[in-house]
Amino acid sequence: MSKRYRIGQIVPSSNTTMETEIPAMLRLREAIRPERFTFHSSRMRMKKVVKEELAAMDAESDRCALELSDARVDVLGYACLVAIMAMGHGYHRVSQKRLTEQTIANDGAAPVLTSAGALVDALRVIGAKRIVVVAPYMVPLTELVVDYIRNEGYDVIAYRALEIPDNLDVGRHDPSRLPDIVKTLPYQDADAIVLSACVQMPSLPAVAQVEAMTGKPVITAAIATTYAMLRELDLEPIVPGAGALLSGAY
């Protein structure tokens, strides 16, 4: 009988993408590997992607970790990159430690990872130093994200802020627009492309096209989170059609 894993996600209340893209990737994996997955979420209130709402939302993450550990999930993913990065340099380590401790205290010990930490770790995995970044946020929040990534040791040579303030509208952004957006960036000089520095902006359908168009590995926050979850579960991090990171090369 195939082993089943429970995937827990801590998501903003207005997020509509992480509960589609991560299951989509793990369903693709199920077609080539025996393991099976179920998906379980807990929500933190957030509507507008502004610093004040992000900080208030992050304060709810402890409750979410407790709720998901009640379900005895096997791994938890904190699915909001900008909320973590808005809290200051290196905050993903603080958050992951604190939320993991919540699950332990609830007798439902499970590793907690964040999409922010997963993204910066994924760049290390593929050996990227120089990157270009696409983000849906307003310019000040995008600059904050870029600064966070730079503080982790990467050279962000260019970025594009799409300036979408409402989180539901971020989830409605058409991924077919992403290849043309990438064309406006000097990707030729980069080691990798961060196609979506946001777990709410849909990007999975465009990843293969952008990799083919640019000849560069493409990372998204959702792909990086899926990779990190599979590694935490000690499963082979391979998903067909989900870009270089999940190709089996790493």
Catalytic residue numbers? 80, 198
Rounded Cα gap, residues 88 and 147, in angstroms: 10
Rounded Cα gap, residues 151 and 112, in angstroms: 22
Closest CA to 202 of 179, 181, 220, 227: 220
Residues contacting 89, CB < 8 A, separation 6+:
147, 148, 151
DSSP β-bridge partners for residue 218: 193
Write the DSSP string, 42-68.
Answer: EEE---B-SHHHHHHHHTTHHHHHHHH
